[in-house]
Chain A
Amino acid sequence: MDTATTNAIEIRDLVVDFGSRRILENISFDIHQGEIMVIMGGSGAGKSTLLRCLLGLKAPTSGHIHMLGTDICHATKTDLYKMREKMGVAFQGGALFTSMSVAENIQLPLREHTNLDENTIQIMTRIKLDMVNMLPHENLMPSELSGGMTKRAALARAIIMDPKLLFFDEPSAGLDPITSAELDELIIKLKKSMKMTIVVVTHELESVFAIADRIAILGDRELIQIGTPHEIKASCDKRVIDLLNRTPRESIVDSDAHLKRLTRNAQS
């Protein structure tokens, strides 16, 4: 038995339905402590739904998610609240409060979850702002920030509590290549220095292979493959190859079936 690897997150037989539509089907995999796991897949593959389940924002139809030993699918509100203190989340759009300055946004989790001294809060805020190169902009309002600055501010807020688990939703989307590479570098440094377990949901291939220790690929509601970047690059699965090669969806092979799909509810 391998005792060297400890799982930060264990996902077992996860099924998620939205009404009669199945979004995720029997997803099972582990995320090791201290690794960067990238979850990728095409649009509609279920990446965002899986992330919402991991964050405890969406209850699965069935299955379990054990996070640092707690089953978050069946946890009490109190347990979920405690778990969230150990989690940091950087949402795609930043999700900053528009009525607060950058610094006030970043301090918010500390003020809500701790009784730290004001000096400590101020210094911690500036440490995190400096880490994401946002220290000169601490007094700006979210409406005054560029897309890249918003993402960096959101990251500073996500790491303000030094979380054990850090979740990123599309960190590089909409960023220029230099800012994107800086963000990738910071993600790797956070893992190494702060011993964080980091889960990144993205379809930006350059970032994926720059930061991932392992990659989980979703498609057609299922987990298609999980492995190291090397293993994923060597995959023989056509769906993985298509995703990595950015192959467009297959051209129409059955014109009658396609016509039927388009005209299903139309009057003839």
Chain B
Amino acid sequence: MKSNIRSENDFDVLELSGEIDLHYSPELRELILGSLKGGKALLIDMSDVGYIDSSAIASLVEGFQTAKSTNLEYGLLSISHPALQVLTLTRLDQVFSLYDNVEQFQSQF
């Protein structure tokens, strides 16, 4: 997994790429929770994610729960097909807010 986090005015964008499995999900969790601690909304760009396992999904879920409890916007951007398949299998495609572009996310606040 490779990651990059950049700050926009009102929110952070976490860009992810590569495979995210048991070895990388603790790092993903730290990145997500660390960003949310800063009190800004978070958009996770998953366009270049090749594979995602359930430990990574668990990190995304925990992030979503944390964002909800602190009233912060939280969304997933341009999810790659392999990652979307796993989200669909776990029925979480109906739970997360999914966006096709940054503007859609920005319009939420």
Contacts and interface: CB of A to CB of B under 8 A. Distances in A.
Given A116-B26, A130-B90, A193 B85 contact: yes
Given A114-B22, A116-B22, A194-B53, A123 B86 contact: no
A256 to B, nearest CB: 61
**Chain A binding site: helix, strand, loop or mixed by DSSP?**
helix
Contacts, number: 56
B35 interface: no
B22 A127 contact: no
Nearest to A122: B58
**Chain B binding site: helix, strand, loop or mixed by DSSP?**
helix
Contacts of B57: 123-124, 127
Interface residues of B, number: 22
Nearest to B66: A119
B40 interface: no
Interface residues of A, number: 21
B6 interface: no
A162 B57 CA distance: 11
A116 B58 CA distance: 11
Nearest to A162: B53
Nearest to B25: A120
Contact of A120 (B58, B82, B89): B58
B71 interface: no
Interface in B87-101: 88-92
Contact of A119 (B62, B89, B90, B91): B62
A259 to B, nearest CB: 59
Interface in B1-51: 21-22, 25-26, 29, 51
Contact of A123 (B51, B53, B61, B88): B61
Interface of A: 114-117, 119-120, 123-124, 127-128, 130-131, 160-162, 189-190, 192-195
Q: Which 3 residue pairs across A and B have the least CB separation, nearest first?
A: A123-B58, A162-B53, A193-B89
